[in-house]
Amino acid sequence: MSGPEDASGAPDASASKFRAGETAIWADNLGRASIRSVQVLLVTALVGVIVWAATRVPLVLTPVLIALILASAISPSCVG
């Protein structure tokens, strides 16, 4: 058997129209396009957040690194 069949042995038209677990609203071309659009928007938003965070980290990290360098130069710890 290659797919779902009814009692007469003919392929079941309603089963071949939709994939398992899909509802009718998402199974047509417009539904698939809307799902893909939402995925693209989410990935774009995620990339935007990552870029925004990457631009903010050096603004915080630079003064901290300078403070650590100055603290180490002013009062070096004794290693012994």
In what helix (H) or strand (E) does residue 33 lie, and over which residues does it extend? helix 29-74
Q: How far is CA 70 from the centre of its chain?
A: 40
Under a CB-based contact definition with an 8 Å cutoff, are residues 12 and 4 in contact?
yes
pLDDT value, residue 23: 72
pLDDT confidence of residue 14: 52
Backbone angles phi, psi at 7, to 5 degrees: -65, -30
Cα gap 51→46, rounded to integer Å = 9
- What pLDDT is recorded for position 55? 84
**Beta bridge mates, 5:** 11
> Along the chain (80 residues), what's the average pLDDT of each consecutive run of 10 residues?
56 55 77 94 96 84 87 74
Tell me, yes or no, if the pTM score tops 0.75. no
